[in-house]
A = this chain, B = another copy of it.
Amino acid sequence: MNIFSVTILGSSSALPTSHRFPTAQVVRLNEQLFLIDCGEGTQIQLRRFGFKMGRINHIFISHLHGDHIYGLPGLISSLALYGKKGELHIYAHSDLPQMMAGMMKFMNEVTDLQVKYHPLNFHRSAVIYEDKRIKISSFPLKHRISCCGFLFQELPSDLHLDKQALEQFEIPVTQRNNIKNGADLVLPDGSVIPNHYLTLPARPPRTYAFCTDTVVRKEIIPLVEGADLLYHEATFAANLSDLAVKTFHTTTFQAADLASQARVKKLVIGHFSSRYKDVTPLVNEARTIFPETFAANDGDCYEL
Contacts and interface: CB of A to CB of B under 8 A. Distances in A.
Contacts of A17: 47
Interface string A39-79: 01101100110000000000000001011001101100110
28 contacts: A14-B81, A14-B109, A15-B78, A15-B81, A16-B43, A16-B78, A18-B47, A18-B48, A40-B40, A40-B41, A40-B43, A40-B44, A40-B71, A40-B74, A41-B41, A41-B44, A64-B106, A66-B74, A66-B103, A70-B73, A70-B103, A95-B106, A98-B105, A99-B105, A99-B106, A101-B102, A102-B102, A102-B103
A21 interface: yes
Number of copies: 2
A200 interface: no
Given A18-B44, A43-B16, A102 B106 contact: no
Interface in A102-153: 102-103, 105-107, 109
A57 to B, nearest CB: 20
Contacts of A107: 66
Interface in A1-55: 14-18, 21-22, 40-41, 43-44, 47-48
B40 A21 contact: no
Contacts of A22: 74
Closest 3 CB pairs between A and B? A18-B48, A40-B74, A99-B102
A243 interface: no
Contacts of A240: none
Given A16-B43, A47-B16, A70-B74, A99 B103 contact: yes
A202 interface: no
Nearest to A66: B77
A43 B14 CA distance: 12
A186 interface: no
A187 interface: no
Residue among A14, A18, A41 with the most chain B CB within 10 A? Answer: A41
A223 interface: no
Contact of A44 (B16, B99, B109): B16
